[in-house]
Structure formats: C-alpha cells, structure tokens
Amino acid sequence: MSGHEPAAALFADRFGGEPDGLWRAPGRVNLIGEHTDYNDGFVLPFAIDRAAHVAVALREDRTVRIASTFEGGDTIETTLDDIADRRFSGWSAYPFGVVWAFGEAGTDLAAVRGFDLAVDSDVPVGAGLSSSAAIEMATAVALNDLWEVGADRAALARIGRRAENVAVGAPTGIMDQAASVFGEADAAVFLDCRTIEVEQVPLGFAAAGLALLVVDTKVEHAHATGGYRDRREACERAAKELGVPALRDVALTDLPDAEQRLDPVTFRRVRHIVTEDARVLRSVEALKEHHTAAFGALMYESHASMRDDFEISVPELDTVVEVARSRGAVGARMTGGGFGGSAIALLPADEADALAEAVVAAFAERGYREPASFRVVPAAGAGRLA
C-alpha cells in the first residue's frame, strides 16, 4: 500500500500491519435541484475531486475498531452486536450506521466478521460538500467487497442514506450518497429521486475553459436543521392538500390551480419545488447541447427561487451570487440545504481567483466572516483503490 496514503498510515499506526484494501468515496456538490430530492424529484450533483479514503481489514472476531485522522480522534472500539442494537454516537455513527443499515437491508450481522477501519478525508466538514456521505459510502463500498454482500450501487446509496437518517436523525434524501457512488470524471449525476434512475451527463467544463468555484460562507445557522425540517413538512402538507403522492407530481401548468388552493406561503414553497424540478430537466438538456450560458441562467433562476420562494438563503449567500453576477460569471447559486453553507459559481477558469478575492472584499466590506473558496472538479465515484 502506498506510503503516501494517510488512511493506510493511520491503519498501521492504530491497528498494526497491512489492511486488506483501500477504498475511496468522494464528496459532492449539487449543480442544481435543491430540496427536490425528498419531493421525489430531480437533482444534478457531481462527485468532486475530494474524498474519504478508508483502509480496512477484516478480523477473526466480532470486534469493530475505527479511527480517523480528523481532529486527532481516538480509536473507537465496539462490537457488531452493539452496532446491531444501534448503540453508537458521535462521528462513529456514520460508519457504524452503515454497518447497521447493511443489517437492516438483509446482511446477517450475526454471521459476518468484525473489522478495523482507518479513515482519512480531504472533504471539508460542514461546507455543504457532504463529508458525511463520503465517510458513509467509503465504508459501504469497503464492507460490500470484504463481506461479499454483492449490493449494487443504488442499494449502497440506500444503505448510506439510511445510515445518515439514523445516525444524524436528519430526514435527508438520497442525493449525497447517490452522487458519491454514481459519479464519473467530467460528468454530473442526473438522478430521479423517485426511481433512483441515474444518467451521467457529460459536463465538459474544463474543455470549455470553465471552472466551478465553491465559496464556503462559514455561516452556520442554529436553525438550519429546524428550517430544513420545516420546509420538508410544508412540502409534505402541500402534497397532501393537492392530492398528489409528492410535489414531483405537480406540473408547471398546475401552479395556477395550486395558488387557489394553498395559503400564500405554502404556495411559494410549492412553486420553488415545481419550477426547480423543471430547471433540472432544462439544465440536463442545455448541458447535453453544450449550451453553457443557458445552464448558467438556470443557476441564477434557481438562486432567486430559493431566496424569494423557498426562503432558505442568507445575506452572505446572496452576496456571493451578486458579486459573481456583477463580474460576469456564467451562473451562480447557493447550494445545499440553505441557511448558510456554500454557494457555487461557474465561470472562466482564469477568472476564478479574481472572483474569490472579490467575494472576500465584499464580505469584509459588509462585516461578514471571511469566506473560503476552492475549485472542485467532477471526479469518479466510490470504489476500490488497492
């Protein structure tokens, strides 16, 4: 195993010897399609060139040990039986949640061997790039191989999602995990969240001289989880009132009727979801035809819809988008659940650094915390490295 592999080095340090293998799963950024996943709708994320790596070896007994290079964490030790009883907390809930979810999905946790797992990740935590899905999916692909479960990628994404839902207790959709397993170099993952049907859409940003810049506003709102839940509940209530299984089933042409039947706030929530689904479909068409400008315009529209109709933006995110627009970026929008986190901008690669600096200056002028910017490149999805 490569001496430059921090996960393997941590494995040797904590557990001794060589792991059975090394697996990788990336974080993701969502190009467009926000809050549509739990409405059975469409999303268009891509797997990024930052990933969690896990070095894993099976054991002869039922002990499970994990360690991470993250914040100098201690080694955590438990047993498969405790995990099967859902006894886990802290960051270990992500890998242990995956083990538990394998059990829920049919793997007999009484019959498999324990393991030692060391993880190292360069996905920034809490920046809206899904460091959590990276850990989950790296663990999932590793155990799928070592335990010879034979789950396909959609099944692994479902296992990761269950881990996230159980570990964090957040009723999130399947986008993050699906992006992490279905990603491909230079492509986005067009995902139908109802059927889990996936189509990889070639992006060609680099060939067109474009870069995707992520700006982490460092804003973390205390009510982010509550705000997310509130929007989710509003969507579920609206679907019920409109007599459809999910808002995915409301067409653009149904909106005037929906406006008559819903209170004004709920109607605006619905309008965001319905128009956002339409924007994802139009984005896929635009990207397939290399109409980058048309896709960029949809990014700006998506941001306006989240700011005005879904009301999940914050002034810092709006500032990033304003600055990007004023500097002529092809497109820009907030990305992720909202109430803070990151915004993305698509722009000529040689203008990315200047935009990052302009955003820092605009934030300083407005008295906001200093943001962090970095480029991300669409990269391959989860798999075995060695």
Interaction residues for Mg ion, span 114-153 (CB under 5 A)? 130, 132
Q: Does 91 bind ligand ADP (CB under 6 A)?
A: yes
Q: Does 68 bind ligand ADP (CB under 6 A)?
A: yes
Stretch that binds ligand ADP, among 128-136, 138-146, 254-262, 301-309 (CB under 6 A): 128-136
CA distance 244 to 318: 33
Q: Please give the helix or strand (H or E) that residue 127 lies within, else none.
A: none
Selection from Mg ion, ligand ADP, none that 119 binds (CB < 5 to 8 A by kind) is ligand ADP
Q: Does 130 bind ligand ADP (CB under 6 A)?
A: yes
Q: Which of 70, 267, 300, 374 binds ligand ADP (CB under 6 A)?
A: 70
Q: Is 176 a catalytic residue?
A: yes
Closest distance of CB 111 from Mg ion, Å: 31
DSSP conformation class of 369? P
Closest distance of CB 133 from ligand ADP, Å: 6
Choose between 68 and 144: whose C-beta lies nearer to ligand ADP.
Answer: 68
CB atoms within 10 A of CB 146: 19
Choose between 47 and 80: whose C-beta lies nearer to Mg ion.
Answer: 47
Stretch that binds ligand ADP, among 124-132, 242-250, 263-271, 275-283 (CB under 6 A): 124-132
Q: Which of 39, 107, 131, 144 binds ligand ADP (CB under 6 A)?
A: 131
- What DSSP letter does each residue of 287-337 carry, written as one string? HHTT-HHHHHHHHHHHHHHHHHTS----HHHHHHHHHHHHTT-SEEEEESS
CA distance 151 to 140: 10
Q: Does 292 bind Mg ion (CB under 5 A)?
A: no
Q: Which of 43, 119, 274, 298 binds ligand ADP (CB under 6 A)?
A: 119
CA distance 277 to 279: 5
Site for ligand ADP (CB under 6 A): how many residues? 14
Stretch that binds ligand ADP, among 18-26, 121-129, 245-253, 363-371 (CB under 6 A): 121-129
Q: Token pair 């709102």 is at which residue? A: 221
Closest distance of CB 66 from ligand ADP, Å: 9
Choose between 169 and 243: whose C-beta lies nearer to ligand ADP.
Answer: 169
In the chain, where do the E strands start and end?
Answer: 21-32, 42-58, 63-68, 76-79, 115-121, 187-192, 197-202, 210-220, 331-335, 340-348, 372-376, 383-384
**Residue 168: exposure state from Cβ atoms within 10 A (0-12, 13-18, ≥19):** middle
- Catalytic residue, from 176, 216, 277, 309: name it: 176
Q: Please give the helix or strand (H or E) that residue 85 lies within, else none.
A: none
Selection from ligand ADP, Mg ion, none that 94 binds (CB < 5 to 8 A by kind) is ligand ADP
Minimal CA–CA distance to 36: which of 169, 156, 191, 184? 191
Closest distance of CB 34 from ligand ADP, Å: 14
- What DSSP letter does each residue of 9-51 carry, written as one string? HHHHHHH-S--SEEEEEEEEEEEE--S-GGGT-EEEEEEEEEE
Choose between 130 and 335: whose C-beta lies nearer to Mg ion.
Answer: 130
- Label each residue of 191-206 as H, E or C: EECCCCEEEEEECCCC
- Contacts with Mg ion by CB under 5 A lie at 130, 132
Among all residues, which ones are annotated catalytic?
A: 176
Contact residues toward ligand ADP (CB under 6 A) are 68, 70, 91, 94, 119, 121, 125-126, 128-132, 135
